[in-house]
Amino acid sequence: KVKNIAELEVVTTDLEVTEETFGEGENAFTTKVTTIDGVKYRIPVSVLKNLKAILEVKPELKAFKVKKSGSGMNTEYTIITLD
């Protein structure tokens, strides 16, 4: 089972992101994932876009946390920078 990156307390900015397809047929979907300690975590595109913008301003950032609110189509993700 793939977990959500918001389930992690701390995420480092040097994470390796890959693209994977899950499911079969019309239920198949492709998403960005990272593997940490053998566990796969899904990374929403909005998180990657926000992280990229933050790193442009603060390239020395080493760690962050993702806060998830809402559910379904109304899910929002907030990146909290950690020092």
What residues have CB less than 8 Å from 44, skipping those under 6 apart?
Answer: 5, 32, 75, 77
Q: Is 54 helix (H, G, I), strand (E, B) or coil?
A: helix
Instruction: Read off φ and ψ for residue 30, nearest 5 degrees.
Output: -110, 135
State the Cα–Cα distance between residues 73 and 14, nearest whole angstrom.
Answer: 29
Which pLDDT score is estimated for 56?
97
How much is the pLDDT for 1? Answer: 84
List the chain residues with pLDDT less than 50: none
Q: What is the pLDDT of residue 73?
A: 87
List, in order, residues 6 or more apart from 56 with CB less than 8 Å away.
Answer: none
Predicted pLDDT of residue 31: 94
Global pTM exceeds 0.85: yes
pLDDT at 41: 97
